[in-house]
Amino acid sequence: MDAMYGFSYLVPRVCWMTFLILMLVWICKTQNGFAYTNTKMGSQGYLNHHYIFMTVAWPICMFEAILSYRVPLYRMPDRYAHKYLHVALQTAAGVFILLGLIFVGLFKRYNGEYQFWSVHSWLGAIAIAMYIAQYIAGFWAYLVSRWSPERKAAFYSVHRFLGSANLLTAFTAIAAGLAEVQTFDIFAKKGIKGFYTDYSYSLISIVLPIMTLMVLIQALVVVYNLMHGQQAIPVSSSVSSAKATNGVRTSV
């Protein structure tokens, strides 16, 4: 195991676990936990569910799906097991994305907020649209179609790039959302003067930047594996020959 493989295996997993723990601490300590009522005052719990579901969807499920061939959390002897794990993680991400959308929709409904007015909202919508297109394309190409190994190998580089771009877009949306929440919290509780007082160094202003840093490290690992990562799972002989024929380094 080389140093970069070890780094790609350990560090990003520590990052998403740290992100999840900090998210739970932040929600429970500063955002009134997960209880909610169908009123404007009691609807924060809806938004907190949105935070958790999107955390599980992108930095955990989608990230693990991206690395399931190159740096799998657990290496299984059968390549098809990794393929179905990849699909299962993508499907689970879709379920959590849907739940996240439902809960943020309920929050906006009870607060009378407009939809898609922020950078975070637009980036999130783009990431979800990319996810849907990628899921359909990948499901068709590698589970339904009768494409030849050569054709699958040729399509793989596109699928791999767009999948990584999808996750990076989602990470950017998360970073934008964290910055948005931090700014709104300071302004709502202290007004414009809050940015020039000790409150700007409160729990929320320490935890949220650390969470953003965790996502940034995960994004760098995705970029590295997109540019340099080799598959750790053995490739069948038919796919290997197709890979050589098409000049593609790896294939699904």
**Is residue 60 over pLDDT 80?**
yes
Least confident of 26-40, 63-77, 84-98: 26-40
Asked whether residue 11 is assigned to any structural domain, the reply reads yes
Asked whether residue 143 is assigned to any structural domain, the reply reads yes
Number of structural domains found in the chain:
1
Asked whether residue 122 is assigned to any structural domain, the reply reads yes
Q: pLDDT tens, 160-209?
A: 999 999 999 999 999 999 999 988 887 776 666 666 666 656 777 789 99
| Single-letter residue type at 1 | M
Four-residue CA torsion sign, 5, 9, 12, 14: negative
Check which CATH number belongs to the domain holding 161 and give it: 1.20.120.1770
Computed over every residue of the chain, the mean pLDDT equals: 87
* Relative orientation angle of helices 237-246 and 149-190, to the nearest 10 degrees: 80
pLDDT band at residue 228 using 50, 70 and 90 as cut-offs: confident
Q: pLDDT tens, 112-167?
A: 888 888 999 999 999 999 999 999 999 999 999 999 999 998 999 999 999 999 99
∠ at Cα 239 (237, 241), nearest 5°?
70
Parent domain of 238: 3-246
Asked whether residue 252 is assigned to any structural domain, the reply reads no
Asked whether residue 251 is assigned to any structural domain, the reply reads no
Asked whether residue 136 is assigned to any structural domain, the reply reads yes
Report the pLDDT averaged over residues 233-250: 52
Asked whether residue 37 is assigned to any structural domain, the reply reads yes
Query: How far apart, in Å, are the Cα atoms of 222 and each of 20, 102, 156, 226?
Result: 19, 28, 16, 6
Which percentage of the chain shows pLDDT scores above 90? 62
Residue 250: its pLDDT value, please?
A: 44
3-state secondary structure of 73: coil
Report the pLDDT averaged over residues 62-71: 94
- Note the pTM of the prediction, 2 decimals: 0.88
- Torsion angle in degrees (nearest 10) through CA of 183, 189, 192, 198: -90
Q: What share of the chain is helix, strand, coil (3-state, %, to 5)?
A: 80, 0, 20
3-state secondary structure of 97: helix
